[in-house]
């Protein structure tokens, strides 16, 4: 985990890096090579050999006379939080929530398989989420000869044309070839300006109960919220509000009730801290009943100080754009126009919600949501449609 050699690392900038790409192109292997952490921690993932949930790993990067390492040699230069995302076509929504947390994206393309549907769909999702810092990793170069590697490189360049001008780094994640180049590219990325003046907005990507069975009541910890602080500052002792909150049933009607609690502890990566500023993977230990945090129950919720979040809403107005084609399926499929009454899947920050199209005017779409969300004006949205029983990204938009 985070190796803190001296106090200077406290003040170091943190960037959040997401790893994306088609299934089996080597995301989890690359993350392991970069950080020493195997992000597959769930039995189901290990059994099936695929990433289902978002995986996390934090490292401090050191510069030892131009050679980067995570072993503490040389000068500590950057704190990096990685998010590993699933590349399976059915898990696009999870991939989108991962994209909501990051500053920089690494998109993997296997040199053997080349551009596949989720390579295209993930690149479009990153564009929908307005992520400008992208590094393309051409992986598995140990498995191809020079000509094939070159041809694949040219294909990737062609694919990127007009979409983004990301660097392409040939790598073998498994053999650890050229990994230095990835560190160099990451260090070269501009750190986004962090806003610590606004009211805090913390996006919850996961939540858990960290108590071991048999813990005595006085030693019990409250629910823990994992995610990323988008703006503002959070401090231990702050009274926070979580929205939409908890689903309650009242007189045979369901409604969401916001949760109010105290911040008991804060963690940046795995290190305890007394305040959080934007940048990196973080978690908040709250005074909430631990059961409320279980199995990601609060994922998709938003946290701020008491009274500082907008009202939850089931109605959104979106300025939208549709892609010319459905990128997430093999072959060419045109994106048909939106229709009144059709159901879309919308991803807003770390939340995913189904919405029914109620009105369409020029480029403005109004949807009625099945579940309420916290929406901020200007938030970007991924728009997906159910095509052959899978949610496929067909466009993007912005809340107006």
Catalog residues that contact ligand GDP under the rule CB under 6 A.
21, 23-29, 50-51, 87, 139-140, 142-143, 172-174
- Binding segment for Mg ion among 44-52, 140-148, 183-191, 223-231 (CB under 5 A)? 44-52
Name the residue nearer to Mg ion (CB basis): 55 or 200.
Answer: 55
* Residue 94 is a binding residue for Mg ion (CB under 5 A): no
Name the residue nearer to ligand GDP (CB basis): 50 or 305.
Answer: 50
d(CA 240, CA 263): 7
Smallest separation (angstroms) from ligand GDP to the CB of 40: 8
Residue 230's binding partner among Mg ion, ligand GDP, none (Cβ under 5 to 8 angstroms by kind) is none
- Binding segment for Mg ion among 48-56, 166-174, 305-313, 359-367 (CB under 5 A)? 48-56
The SS3 assignment for 123 reads: helix
* Residue 27 is a binding residue for Mg ion (CB under 5 A): yes
* Contact by Cβ (8 Å): 189, 104: yes
* Contact by Cβ (8 Å): 138, 171: yes
Which of 310, 298, 297, 283 has the alpha carbon at shortest distance from 379?
310
d(CA 353, CA 300): 9
* Residue 32 is a binding residue for Mg ion (CB under 5 A): no
Q: Which of 9, 16, 35, 51 binds Mg ion (CB under 5 A)?
A: 51
Smallest separation (angstroms) from Mg ion to the CB of 100: 19
**Other beta carbons within 10 Å of 332:** 8
Smallest separation (angstroms) from ligand GDP to the CB of 16: 18
Helices (H) and strands (E) in the chain, counts: 7, 22
Name the residue nearer to ligand GDP (CB basis): 155 or 195.
Answer: 155
Smallest separation (angstroms) from Mg ion to the CB of 119: 14
Smallest separation (angstroms) from ligand GDP to the CB of 365: 33
Exposure of 36 in the CB half-sphere (CA atoms within 13 A):
10
* Residue that the structure tokens 């949205």 belong to: 381
d(CA 88, CA 101): 19
d(CA 285, CA 228): 14
Smallest separation (angstroms) from ligand GDP to the CB of 140: 4
Name the residue nearer to ligand GDP (CB basis): 133 or 172.
Answer: 172
- Binding segment for Mg ion among 43-51, 188-196, 270-278, 318-326 (CB under 5 A)? 43-51
Residue closest to ligand GDP, measured at CB: 26
Q: What is the DSSP letter of 288?
A: S
The SS3 assignment for 362 reads: coil
* Contact by Cβ (8 Å): 387, 329: yes
Name the residue nearer to Mg ion (CB basis): 53 or 385.
Answer: 53
Structure tokens given for 224 = 């823990």
Q: List interacting residues with Mg ion (CB under 5 A).
A: 27-28, 51
């Amino acid at each position: 985990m985070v190796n803190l050699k001296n106090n200077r690392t406290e003040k170091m900038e943190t960037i959040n890096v997401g790893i994306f790409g088609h299934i089996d192109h080597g995301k989890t292997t690359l993350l392991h090579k970069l950080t020493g952490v195997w992000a597959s921690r769930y039995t189901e993932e290990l059994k099936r050999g695929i990433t289902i949930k978002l995986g996390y790993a934090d490292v401090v990067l050191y510069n030892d006379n131009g050679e980067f390492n995570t072993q503490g040699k040389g000068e500590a230069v950057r704190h990096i939080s990685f998010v590993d995302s699933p590349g399976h076509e059915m898990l696009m929504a999870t991939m989108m929530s991962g994209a909501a947390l990051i500053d920089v994206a690494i998109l993997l393309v296997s040199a053997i398989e080349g551009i596949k549907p989720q390579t295209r769909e993930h690149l479009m999702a990153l564009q929908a989420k307005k992520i400008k810092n992208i590094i393309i990793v051409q992986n598995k170069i140990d498995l191809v000869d020079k000509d094939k590697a070159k041809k694949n490189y040219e294909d990737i360049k062609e694919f990127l044309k007009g979409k983004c001008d990301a660097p392409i780094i040939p790598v073998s994640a498994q053999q650890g070839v050229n990994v230095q180049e990835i560190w160099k590219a990451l260090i070269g990325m501009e750190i986004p300006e962090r806003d610590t003046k606004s009211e805090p907005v913390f996006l919850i990507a996961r939540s858990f109960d960290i108590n071991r069975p048999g813990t005595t009541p006085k030693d019990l910890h409250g629910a823990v919220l994992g995610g990323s602080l988008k703006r503002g500052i959070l401090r231990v002792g702050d009274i926070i509000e979580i929205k939409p909150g908890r689903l309650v049933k009242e007189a045979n009607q369901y409604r969401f009730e916001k949760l109010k609690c105290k911040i008991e502890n804060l963690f940046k990566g795995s290190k305890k801290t007394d305040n959080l500023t934007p940048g990196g993977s973080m978690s908040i230990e709250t005074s909430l009943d631990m059961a409320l945090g279980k199995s990601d129950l609060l994922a998709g919720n938003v946290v701020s100080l008491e009274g500082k979040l907008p009202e939850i809403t089931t109605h959104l107005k979106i300025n939208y754009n549709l892609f010319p084609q459905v990128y997430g399926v093999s072959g060419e499929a045109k994106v048909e126009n939106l229709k009144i009454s059709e159901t879309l899947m919308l991803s807003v920050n770390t939340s995913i919600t189904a919405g029914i199209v109620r009105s369409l005017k020029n480029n403005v779409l109004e949807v009625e949501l099945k579940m309420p969300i916290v929406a901020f004006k200007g938030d970007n949205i991924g728009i997906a449609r159910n095509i052959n029983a899978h949610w496929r990204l067909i466009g993007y938009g912005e809340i107006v």
